[in-house]
Amino acid sequence: MIKLVDFSKNEKMRFYYGGNAGAKEAIYYDNAAWMVKYPKSTKDLDNPQISYTTSPISEYLGSKIYETFGMPVHETILGTRKNKIVVACRDFTRKLDDEMPRWLITEILVPFHDLKNSFMSSDIEAYSGTGSETLLDEVLATINGQDELKLLEGVTERFWDMFIIDAFIGNNDRNNGNWGILINQKSGEISLAPVYDNGSAFFNKRSLAQMQKRLTDEILMQEDAYKTATCAYKYVGLDNEGHRINPFRFMREGGDADCEAAIVRFISKVDLDCITAIIANIPEDVGTLAVMPQIQKEFYIKLLEIRLRHIKGEIE
């Protein structure tokens, strides 16, 4: 069983992080800078079943599952701070100066959003020209045509590997702002950033009662696992509007050689026993705070089992 880290006494630093998924703080821990992510209040949601999302658990678990595939991913630690369950994510863009007591930004993180914003495609009719648009044709055109991305090997493979693994963990928010490249400040070298921002995985707004209901209803479990799944990427429908893709339907229909190759890679690397052990090793509670109760563990494991069978073509 893993032990959660008590971050209550760790120094808060004057770094600031964006995003709308909840409050964030920069802290000093283990000679490094870490971003602490808090669970977000659900008070603005319609008919919320829980007071706060379980996004710190989702971030931690999603990232650990990425690790099992041998994917470069940011380092995460589960802990507590201000009487909340939090996840600390190591800041891979900063390090302490060896000569002076200051922090240096050693790597510039450039999200795919900004790379796409700099790219204009003449191959797509009515190309939007915006970094935030997630139409799949535009995203793939940017990967294949944007100047910096053309210098990198493995960008296409990274995109499709994320597409499959995100579907597997239920992360429906891999938008253009939460993956990208790193530019080394000193050498100018360009590399793919490690995978980060997995907090939207595993239905982080579900209550235990909702999970329990689904565990006893195979139809609801299949709907949650793959039938009603969506991702951030879109296709243009007959109404000329963008519609979110169901990644499992997209995989099943086939037709994209790069996606099909990623499915083969996924199946060759997935280790459900290892992933189940990761889930089992998360404590049910710490003090008076719930971490991952048994029902939640059973729900997550069953979701993954069903999704894996579907990706393998064992169930329709």
Whether residue 123 is predicted with pLDDT greater than 90 in this model: the reply is no
Q: Is residue 312 part of a domain?
A: no
Position 51 in a domain: yes
Q: Is residue 204 situated within a structural domain?
A: yes
In whole numbers, what is the pLDDT of the chain averaged over residues?
93
Q: How many domains does the chain have?
A: 1
CATH of the domain at 253: 1.10.1070.20
Residue 69 forms part of a structural domain: yes
Q: How far is CA 111 from CA 47, 115, 256, in A?
A: 33, 7, 24
- Residues 33-57 have a mean pLDDT of 77
pLDDT at 164 over 70: yes
Neighbours of 288 (CB within 10 A): 6
Q: Mean per-residue pLDDT for 265-271?
A: 98
Percent of the chain with pLDDT over 90: 82
Q: Is residue 313 part of a domain?
A: no
Residue 109 in tokens: 């993180």
Q: Does the residue 316 lie in any domain?
A: no
Question: Is residue 39 in some structural domain?
Answer: yes
Name the band, by pLDDT with cuts 50, 70 and 90, for residue 44: low
Nearest to 303 by CA among 218, 209, 198: 218
The verdict on residue 311 lying in a domain is no
Write out pLDDT tens, residues 58-87: 999 999 999 999 999 999 999 999 999 999
* Distance from C-alpha of 167 to C-alpha of 225, rounded to nearest angstrom: 9
Instruction: Give the structural domain span for 114.
Output: 5-306
What distance in Å separates the CA atoms of residue 24 and residue 171, rounded to the nearest whole number?
20
**pTM tops 0.85:** yes
